[in-house]
Amino acid sequence: MPVGMLPTREIIAANLERVLERIAAACARCDRSADDVRLVAVTKYADLEWVHALVALNVRDLGESRPQQLTERAPQFEPDLRWHLIGHLQRNKARKMLPIAHCIHSVDSLRLLSAIDRLGEELGIRPRVLLEVNVSGEDVKDGFAEESLAAAWNDVTDCKHVDVAGLMTMAPFGENPEEARPVFQRLRELRDRLRDISSPGLTLDELSMGMSRDFEVAIEEGATIIRVGRTLYEGLERQE
């Protein structure tokens, strides 16, 4: 049967299986367990039908780029899903986001981290966050510069009501996934440097890096979270 005639769930199931096979192969190449890599299915441009199909296929981690869309979508699904905010978060929208998001990947400034820390204390929760690092230095990307994050590390560790679980980055767009490898290497090396100057309880275990075009390289360089969207929906057309 041609791809265009297959049911949505069948198409997504086949795409998901291929992604999981690629994750397993990348882990095998670097002597890692596939269980050490969490797949976050990016749903930013996905129709609700597609998201329901992913959930039916036991995908439990979903990533949204827009806080408003995450706020609207999360109540439409079972409460045990883990929603990740992977896009930019303004400080004035943090209060609504904290009770919903399992993890915020895009904490891109000390001001935002401090605001989340204050809200965590006020709301009696401990938000889980990743610090976004602009490793490539591109003007169009948000995030800490590598050295500015290292210089501000004492201020980061002074935030006691937030769980800084690790770091996140986005590699520059390129046709060759190998072009992303130096960016992923530098994020891992930065994480290791920050670990060395942190208290034992701050392990920075998570590295969120790698998307549809380069997640295998990211895994080889130590990614624990990959954010995959487009590859999961190949063969589908959005309904506007």
Q: What confidence category does residue 140 fall into, taking pLDDT thresholds of 50, 70 and 90?
A: confident
Q: For each of the domains in the chain, give its residue range(s) and CATH number, in order of start.
A: 3-233 (3.20.20.10)
Most confident of 172-176, 206-210, 234-238: 206-210
Q: What confidence category does residue 1 fall into, taking pLDDT thresholds of 50, 70 and 90?
A: very low
Closest CA to 37 of 179, 191, 221, 194: 221
Please indicate whether residue 237 or residue 172 has the higher confidence score (pLDDT). 172
Closest CA to 166 of 192, 140, 184: 192
